[in-house]
Copies of this chain bind each other. A is one copy, B any other.
């Protein structure tokens, strides 16, 4: 089942995506819903963020090859990290490369876990029961800022640096999924989505030992491989088989006078 959040006729709602049509619902996937009689063509709506998370978690380094290539140690325990809501944009919205960014703006294609039920101190065996479904994230990073700043505030949380979507798929086979990243239509990398250092159940169980997870929280699971530097006009598509494709174009900001 695919949950989509969309705007049609100036109204934002959740719907269930069936083929190329959306059955609008009253309510939402977290607190309950009823199907309405309204059906919209997918191509006729604006796709919105599938959820605005109460807390936005990110695993960071969670694929061994990517981590070693970047010159870091593979993590020895699942210490979860964070990203920020200001940076979220939906499928098809433009990523704005700030005028003062370096050339090192890169993609990271990631599986995103969407929490469906409140969870505290769940075992690994119970962990996936609190998951509503899965969507796709692009953890865009500006590497120069990443290494010169004390936090990820600019490098990863600049406005528009966190595309997420296009929808939430509730039924997946984690072990057969592949993540495929395309730049301007050309495949760049393909990797087994679930080939993680620490898997989803391990993260959720560990996190829930100290934290309560809430409906709508998202966990971005990290990425594999590298990325070329991205520039004005580039289109990045992240496909995860069984979910769909998240597509965003990069636009270089132009300013007449560099603002403060």
Q: Which residues of A contact B (CB under 8 A)?
A: 54-55, 60, 75, 77, 79-82, 84-87, 98, 120-121, 123-124, 149-151, 153-154, 157-159, 205, 207, 209-214, 259-260
With A82-B84, A87-B211, A159-B212 given, name 16 new contacts (CB 8 A): A54-B86, A55-B84, A79-B154, A80-B151, A80-B153, A81-B153, A82-B82, A84-B211, A86-B211, A98-B210, A121-B260, A123-B260, A153-B207, A158-B210, A158-B211, A205-B260
Closest partner residue, chain B, to A83 (CB atom):
B82
- The copy count of this chain in the complex is 2
Are B157 and A211 in contact (CB-based, < 8 A)? yes
Could you say which residues of chain B place their CB within 8 Å of the CB of A55? 84-86
> Once bound together, how far apart are the Cα atoms of A85 and B82, in whole Å?
11
Closest partner residue, chain B, to A255 (CB atom):
B121
Q: How far, in Å, is A209 (CB) from chain B's closest CB?
A: 7
- What are 19 A-B pairs at a CB distance below 8 A? A54-B85, A54-B86, A55-B84, A55-B85, A55-B86, A79-B149, A79-B154, A82-B153, A84-B211, A86-B211, A86-B213, A86-B214, A121-B259, A124-B260, A153-B207, A154-B210, A157-B210, A159-B210, A205-B260
> Once bound together, how far apart are the Cα atoms of A81 and B82, in whole Å?
10
Are B75 and A150 in contact (CB-based, < 8 A)? yes
Q: How far, in Å, is A49 (CB) from chain B's closest CB?
A: 13
Could you say which residues of chain B place their CB within 8 Å of the CB of A159? 120, 210-212
> Once bound together, how far apart are the Cα atoms of A159 and B210, in whole Å?
6
Are B211 and A81 in contact (CB-based, < 8 A)? no
Could you say which residues of chain B place their CB within 8 Å of the CB of A157? 210-211
